[in-house]
């Protein structure tokens, strides 16, 4: 069955972090309908193996296609790094002619283009750093740019756990920023969709001369181009809808999610994914 412009754009992440990407999509492409899935039962993805993340991504994509998605955004750096290529191959083999957009390439392109010194920093989860995906993306964009990567093992779980932040969190952020300051980077990629929530803290620690780059704005542009190329932009004049699903506690998702999205969430539906049920 051919895709329709009235079908929703689907976005998924390991938790609520991808809502920072959804926020940019809602602002940039307000006439689209959106379906967001947070795999909160298996959060965090940043400590998972590449094979696990590939399995999760395929499973979630199949779920979202059954829900009518016309395009899928992998709004998770760890899943984008480990599974984007495998997911595209899986969908193509299954006869699904749907574009899949990750978060790594859009953020990398913005960072490399904006860096004055050619020294770029990366803050990301251990799985994302270990994958080497950002190193490859930077090298492809400009082989003369140096990337200083820092694996942040506990920053996403700290942010996911909620607010307010205390002095211990500030010390944690300072520790992760120290290698970037020493490397004298002028641009830092926030390589996890949770990290924009602590952007003010990061900016204060890194200094005002350092530019922070998150993936949301770049992803929104990529989605718009992909939809336009297939004549799938929703033609309505008014605002579209946005719906939410999660794999763990609905109330926790709603409470924290509204802070990430900076808009009311409304109804959140709990879903069980096949692998989780088997587990």
- Express each pLDDT in 134-143 by its tens digit: 999 999 999 9
Radius of gyration of the chain (CA): 18
Give me 232's structure tokens: 């799938």
Q: In this structure, are 43 and 90 located in the same domain?
A: yes
Residue 243: what pLDDT?
96
2 located within any domain: no
Q: In this structure, are 144 and 50 located in the same domain?
A: no
**Which of 215, 239, 268 corresponds to the end of one domain?**
215
Is the model's pLDDT at 86 over the cut of 60? Answer: yes
Please report, for the domain that includes residue 174, its CATH number.
3.40.50.1860
Q: In this structure, are 27 and 116 located in the same domain?
A: no
The answer to which of 159-168, 179-188, 240-249, 265-274 has the lowest mean pLDDT is 159-168
| Residue 71 Cα distances to 17, 59, 108, 172, angstroms | 19, 15, 21, 37
- With cut-offs at 50, 70 and 90, classify the pLDDT of residue 163: low
Q: In this structure, are 66 and 145 located in the same domain?
A: no
Q: In this structure, are 177 and 129 located in the same domain?
A: yes
Catalytic choice (76, 152, 177, 246): 76
102 phi/psi in degrees, rounded to 5: -100, -175
What is the domain extent for residue 83?
A: 9-102+217-278
Q: In this structure, are 134 and 198 located in the same domain?
A: yes
**Which of 164, 197, 215 corresponds to the end of one domain?**
215
Expressed in angstroms, the distance from the first to the final Cα of the chain is: 33
Task: Report the pLDDT averaged over residues 201-226.
Answer: 95
Number of domains into which the chain is organized: 2
- Across 31-186, the runs of DSSP E, i.e. the strands, are 34-38, 71-74, 99-101, 119-124, 146-151
Give me 95's structure tokens: 């006869």
**Which of 215, 232, 264 corresponds to the end of one domain?**
215
29 located within any domain: yes
271 located within any domain: yes
193 located within any domain: yes
188 located within any domain: yes
Which pairs count as long-range contacts for 133-138, CB under 8 Å and 24+ apart, including other chains?
A: 133/80, 133/81, 133/82, 133/104, 134/81, 134/104, 134/108, 134/189, 134/191, 137/104, 137/105, 137/108, 138/108, 138/111, 138/112
Q: In this structure, are 182 and 260 located in the same domain?
A: no
Residue 250: what pLDDT?
96
Q: In this structure, are 207 and 122 located in the same domain?
A: yes
Q: In this structure, are 173 and 264 located in the same domain?
A: no
Give me 236's structure tokens: 């309505």
263 located within any domain: yes
Does residue 246 carry a catalytic annotation? no
Q: In this structure, are 92 and 120 located in the same domain?
A: no
Residue 277: what pLDDT?
37
Bridge partners (DSSP) of residue 24 are none
Is the model's pLDDT at 278 over the cut of 80? Answer: no
pLDDT, averaged across the chain: 93
The alpha carbon torsion through 132, 135, 138, 144 (nearest 10 deg) reads: -160
Residue 191: what pLDDT?
95
Consecutive H or E run containing 138:
helix 133-141
**Cα–Cα dist 54/52, whole Å:** 5
Residue 82: what pLDDT?
93
Give me 72's structure tokens: 């899928």
Task: Classify 239 as helix, strand or coil.
Answer: coil
**Cα–Cα dist 138/22, whole Å:** 24
Q: In this structure, are 58 and 126 located in the same domain?
A: no
Give me 262's structure tokens: 């900076």
Catalytic choice (152, 177, 192, 246): 192
- Residues 6 or more apart whose Cβ sits within 8 Å of residue 278: none
Q: In this structure, are 42 and 120 located in the same domain?
A: no
Is the model's pLDDT at 275 over the cut of 60? Answer: no
Does residue 152 carry a catalytic annotation? no
pLDDT, greater one: 163 or 256 = 256
16 located within any domain: yes
Q: What is the number of residues in the chain?
A: 279
229 located within any domain: yes
């Amino acid at each position: 069955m051919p895709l329709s412009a009235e079908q929703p754009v689907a976005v998924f992440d390991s938790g609520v972090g991808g809502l920072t990407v959804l926020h940019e999509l809602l602002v940039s492409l307000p006439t689209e309908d959106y379906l967001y899935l947070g795999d909160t039962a298996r959060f965090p993805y940043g400590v998972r193996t590449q094979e696990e993340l590939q399995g999760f991504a395929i499973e979630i994509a199949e779920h979202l296609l059954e829900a009518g998605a016309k395009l899928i955004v992998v709004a998770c750096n760890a899943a984008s790094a480990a599974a984007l290529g495998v997911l595209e191959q899986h969908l193509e083999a299954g006869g699904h002619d749907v574009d899949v957009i990750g978060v790594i390439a859009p953020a990398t392109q913005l960072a490399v283009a904006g860096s004055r010194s050619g020294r770029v920093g990366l803050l990301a989860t251990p799985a994302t750093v270990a994958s080497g995906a950002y190193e490859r993306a930077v090298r492809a964009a400009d082989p003369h740019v140096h990337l200083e990567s820092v694996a942040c093992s506990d920053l996403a779980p700290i942010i996911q756990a909620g607010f307010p932040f205390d002095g211990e969190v500030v010390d944690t952020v300072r520790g992760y920023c120290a290698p970037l300051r020493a490397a004298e980077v002028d641009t830092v990629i926030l390589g996890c969709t949770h990290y924009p929530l602590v952007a003010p803290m990061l900016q204060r620690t890194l200094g005002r001369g350092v530019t922070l780059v998150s993936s949301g704005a770049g992803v929104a542009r990529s989605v718009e181009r992909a939809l336009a190329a297939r004549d799938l932009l929703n033609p309505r004049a008014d605002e579209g809808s946005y719906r939410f699903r999660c794999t763990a506690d609905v109330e926790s998702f709603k409470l924290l999610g509204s802070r990430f999205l900076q808009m009311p969430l409304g109804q959140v539906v709990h879903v069980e994914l096949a692998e989780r049920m088997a587990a």
